[in-house]
Amino acid sequence: MGSRIITYGGGALSLSSRSCRIVSGLEQPVGGGAVRWQVLEQVDKELSTGNERAALNLVKDLQAKPGVSDVSAPPARYFYRLQIPQRLYTLDELRLNGIEAASLLSPVDTTLGSIERIIQAVALLGGIAAWNVFDLSPQQILFTSLGFLFLWTFDAVSFNGGISFLVLDTLAHSFSQKYNNRVVQHEAGHFLIAYLLGILPKGYTLTSLEALKKEGSLNVQAGTAFADFEFLEEVNKGKVSATTLNKFSCIALAGVATEYLLFGTAEGGLADINTLDKLLKSLGFTQKKADAQVGWAVLNTVLILRRHEKARAVLADAMSEGRTVGSCVDAIEETIDVTDL
């Protein structure tokens, strides 16, 4: 099984799998693209049956074929071609590269906060209106208030606030195009960086409701899951290699980095940052060493995203249409700028 990064609202690293649907009406490619398309259709079939290792092997074989995949170098060598020198980058150096760390690494979800305040105001006004219309006694108001308080506490304790977040997230996607677009772009950032670094995304969800239907859990929010066996195996052994850690760091920060590049600040992705922070602490990193790792990963990820902005935009469109993993990978391969590889 692979790892899953929960990227919007909250959550933690967990395990999941996703059954993907084939989207009809897509134009069939020719030549090397036709071969790639056939392989990626098989990748979708393997993922739909939970055979993630076979899907990963298919993609690796595909990337090794000249003329079929633009991401044609072996993942390890390709990663070293992408990354910048690893050292401590100061805040001034990040600013010179157009990055304000505070806006990127301190996400605050203003959209959900606004919706929550609106719901609270409506509930208060509704309570006052009901009091006047139905002439409720103080005792009835007390019992009603206690009932709502019990439901809120039950959700917080039993589902870690999952029901509340499901309601807020559903309303946000329904009434805020800005919020919906942020989530899509955020997940596209995770997907693109993972694929470019040789890690196969095995599925994604863009709403809490979609995640609930697929995962059957209220504690699962929008996120992207990965067929990342090497990472999990190393974590289980208690020793993570520098290469694996660098890849995970870039993937974890890809969502907030994408938001920052597009909107000037990040709102979602606090859980990603917390997950990376916990991993670094578990590996015994000092605060200075952890800051160096995060600073390097931020700059490296931002530079890759800038380099492949068009591919990220096309991928985001594909994900917003609900395309399969294979179709999303094909969108990357069709759009990626080979001169920047």
Task: Report the distance separating Cα 28 and Cα 283, nearest Å.
Answer: 47
Task: Report the distance separating Cα 104 and Cα 233, nearest Å.
Answer: 30
Average pLDDT, rounded, for the chain: 81
pLDDT at 156 over 90: no
- 191 with 202: CB under 8 angstroms? no
Of the candidates 180, 226, 225, which has an alpha carbon nearest to the alpha carbon of residue 206?
A: 180
Q: How many residues does the chain have?
A: 341
Q: What's this model's pTM, rounded to 2 decimal places?
A: 0.80
Task: Report the distance separating Cα 301 and Cα 254, nearest Å.
Answer: 6
Task: Report the distance separating Cα 329 and Cα 254, nearest Å.
Answer: 17
Residues 88-128 have pLDDT tens digits of: 999 999 999 999 999 999 888 877 777 777 777 777 777 67
Residues 160-216 have pLDDT tens digits of: 666 777 888 888 888 888 999 999 999 999 999 999 998 999 999 999 888 888 877
Residues 33-73 have pLDDT tens digits of: 788 889 999 999 999 998 999 999 998 888 777 666 666 55
Residues 277-315 have pLDDT tens digits of: 999 999 999 999 999 999 999 999 999 999 999 999 999
Q: Which residues pair with 2 in a beta bridge?
A: 16
∠ Cα 146 150 156 (to 5°): 145
pLDDT at 2 over 50: no
Helix, strand, or coil (residue 263):
helix
Dihedral over alpha carbons 234, 275, 277, 319 (to 10 degrees): 100
Residue 39 CA neighbour count, 13 Å, CB half: 22
pLDDT at 11 over 70: no
Residue whose structure tokens are 């709403």: 207
